[in-house]
Structure 1
């Protein structure tokens, strides 16, 4: 499948994630179904397996962070859609790059808000005493100060890096 479909899906997802903090099911779910159908029609069982494995890897990469409360379901479905469209290797690299970019964005935001030191101490305390925050970077207990980033941006940057390096994959 051409790169146009994932680029369109990522662009729409970035816009909705930045504006409303949501990645829409009307974008991700049809993308998954269309990718499965396209790959199955064009290359049969091999295409179905290519798309299905990519979907499962994309889903699996963010499933645990989602279950721990650190990431939204839309982000999981977006990465799964990218996997269904582009396959296992592409989504694996995209997920790795997205994790690195997401971490850098989180550090940048914490530094800008002057909360990096407090957050690192809080994370160390939580790890030492096995008292977690369900996987999210929560600064104080009130919801207004919780660190939250639009992860569609990280996924899109990860996909762009993978597109650029795709010839080497």
Structure 2
């Protein structure tokens, strides 16, 4: 592993800790880390390295932008995946995103089961999907789920796990 990889691991670990402890990923960590990723890749790989880092940063942030706009996660999560992309480039951040989505989905299922809302949410989603596909009369049961009871978790944990899986699984 290169020195930059160790630095990225440190940044992700710090962000995961603060997200877990304080439910916040700090810009004071993210902005300098993004700059180090961009400048470091430009220094190591010239303009092509800098462009790959910029593409990775942009793709990492773009992948989580819609969930952020919809209120499903915080801006720190978006920027953290962007930092991963700035260090490792677009191919790596795409893999990290896919693994993050899988881990995040598993954590979400566990959180829903523990809060007692799993069955109702699955039923509402399934019936709504079947009605959209025209396999049953038109219904939208998603509105019937009491959103105030929704449990959340710090998504930085899923991003850290997804990034680690991308490292280890290639």
TM-score (normalised: structure 2): 0.85
Counterpart for residue 97 of structure 1:
99
* Aligned with 1:165 (options 158, 162, 169): 169
* Aligned with 1:156 (options 138, 160, 163): 160
Q: Contact 1:139–1:147 at 8 Å: present in 2 too?
A: no
In the alignment, the residues of structure 1 paired with residue 79 and residue 141 of structure 2 have an alpha-carbon distance, to the nearest angstrom, of 29
Counterpart for residue 46 of structure 1:
48
Deviations along 1:73-97, whole A, 9 cap, x unmatched?
A: 1000000000001111111100000
Q: What value does the CA root-mean-square deviation take over the aligned residues?
A: 2.1
User: 1:12-161 counterparts in 2 under 5 A?
Assistant: 12-124=14-126, 129=139, 139-142=145-148, 145-161=149-165
Higher mean C-alpha displacement, 13-22 vs 36-45 = 36-45
In the alignment, the residues of structure 1 paired with residue 71 and residue 157 of structure 2 have an alpha-carbon distance, to the nearest angstrom, of 19
TM-score (normalised: structure 1): 0.86
In the alignment, the residues of structure 1 paired with residue 124 and residue 91 of structure 2 have an alpha-carbon distance, to the nearest angstrom, of 35
For structure 1, the residue ranges without an aligned partner over 5 or more in a row are none
Counterpart for residue 136 of structure 2:
none
Q: How many residue pairs get matched?
A: 160
Counterpart for residue 5 of structure 1:
7
Q: CA 1:102 to 1:55, structure 2 compared with 1: closer, same or farther past 3 Å?
A: same
In the alignment, the residues of structure 2 paired with residue 114 and residue 162 of structure 1 have an alpha-carbon distance, to the nearest angstrom, of 32
- Rg: which structure is higher? 2
Measured after TM superposition, the shift of residue 43 of structure 1 is 2.0
